[in-house]
Amino acid sequence: MSATNQNFLSSRFRITRVYMLTGVGFLGACWFFLIQAAESLSRGRWLDSSLLAAVHLFVIGYAMIVVHGAMLQIVPVAFQGRLYSIRLGYVQYALIVLGAVALPLGFLVDVWRIAAVGGLLLILSTVILLWNLGQTLRTLKKKGEALLLAAAFPFFFVTVLLGVSMSLGRFPAGEGTLPLHMMSGIVGWFTTLILLISPRLMGFFVSSRYKGLRKSGPGFLVLAGMAAVLAGEALKAGGRVAVSGGLSAAGWLLYLIGYAWVLVDLYRHFRHRRRREVEWVLKWILGGLYGGWPVVAAWAFASLGGLRENWAASGLLLSLLGFLQWNIGAFMAKILLFLRWMGRYGHGAAKDSSKRIPALQEMMPRRMTVVSLTGSAAGAVLLALGTGLGQGALTFSGAALGTAAWVLYGLALLIMYRR
């Protein structure tokens, strides 16, 4: 490998690390504000400034920053191409960090126009990401599979535009604006993106004789299903309740079938893998994906009017801080581990026989990472139960446990970087 290619790879590894470690910092701030908002959660005060700040610190500061950084790494590697511009990635990074700060700040100082500015910064940042990835697409060998990922981005833009509208005091879908905002963001954007990218990544991580993992059928089902769900919610806001209920139910059915199809394909892929040994972090990624199906099903039930408001809020917290945090944290443990190992021991360093080079699986402390993932999920469960039951002690305990799990995850990353 030439020196130029080595430098380019090192730069690409570095920018992904910057994104992901920044996201971990925002996650800590999220849990801090959840401690502040614990009492409000138990009493059903959904517009509490600390709660709004915590949710947006998670969604934008943690989830979105980590996902954007991962895409700069994953798209060229998993779909076999070359990233168009690292410099554009840093411009995008600056904009998304500013947006991630502006959104919670606007809620905390009760100047929602600041939050609206943050939303506009997120749109600009994402447009730059799409331009960068669009130029990268020209070099990819797997263009069709990569294009399927782009189909999830409209859900993101719907989410942000609705959020900006609400920050400016406008509700284009009336009382349905907030449910549309949450649905399109949590399930339509993040969950769908995970379902679209996971088969490709698992095919990249694990060699298997099963060839059906990368088929596009499940992806089309979840995309069509979510489009129908959002259309149903929009019709409900327009007063067409009879039509909207059937459309939303059909959409959720398609979505859950597509999700289950992904899980079946993953099972068959791992069952027919060529090497029997499976890296431990991959098992935890799979655990998050399989555990997410009942969480999404519960969210679907809540959105169709099957749960009271407090329990619907519990489903939101469980989806965010349980399902999404688990999956993003597990994927990050795999990606950062690989980038660190390659940055320290790859590109010729591995040829130096005088040094003992740790195996890839030895770099990240397994037990500490597993405890942190489990702790964050347990914290999310306590938060959800406390919210549903109206018990402040449970919500506070969940926030405190989630904070402790975040500290442990940070320590695991620190140990990994010192090895």
The model's pTM: 0.92
pLDDT tier at 174, thresholds 50, 70, 90: confident
**Beta partners for 208?**
273
Is 396:383 a contact under the CB 8 Å cutoff? no
The predicted pLDDT at position 218 comes to: 92
The predicted pLDDT at position 4 comes to: 54
Length of the chain: 419
In SS3 terms, 260-284 reads as HHHHHHHHHHHHCECCCCCCHHHHH
- Of 144, 156, 169, 42, the C-alpha closest to 99 is 156
- Of 248, 100, 136, 266, the C-alpha closest to 188 is 248
Residue at 35: amino acid letter? I
The predicted pLDDT at position 128 comes to: 95
pLDDT above 80 (res 35): yes
- Higher-confidence position of 264 and 276: 264
The predicted pLDDT at position 270 comes to: 95
Backbone dihedral region for residue 169 (phi beyond 0: left; psi -120 to 50: alpha; all else: beta): left
Cβ partners under 8 Å of residue 319, min gap 6 = 186, 187, 191, 295, 296, 299
The predicted pLDDT at position 288 comes to: 94
- The SS3 assignment for 318 reads helix
Please give the full DSSP string across 142-169, using - where no structure is assigned. -HHHHHHHHTTHHHHHHHHHHHHHHHTT
pLDDT above 60 (res 5): no
- The SS3 assignment for 275 reads coil
Q: Where are the domains of the chain?
A: 1-150, 306-343+357-419
Percentage of the chain modeled with pLDDT above 70: 91
The predicted pLDDT at position 172 comes to: 87
Residue at 403: amino acid letter? T
pLDDT tier at 347, thresholds 50, 70, 90: low
pLDDT above 70 (res 146): yes
- Higher-confidence position of 300 and 143: 300
> Which token pair is 385?
């139960």
pLDDT tier at 417, thresholds 50, 70, 90: confident
pLDDT above 70 (res 16): yes
- Higher-confidence position of 134 and 163: 163
For the residues 300-321, what does the mean pLDDT come to? 84
Average pLDDT over the chain, rounded to whole? 88
DSSP letter assigned to residue 176: G
The predicted pLDDT at position 416 comes to: 86
pLDDT tier at 127, thresholds 50, 70, 90: very high
**Beta partners for 273?**
208
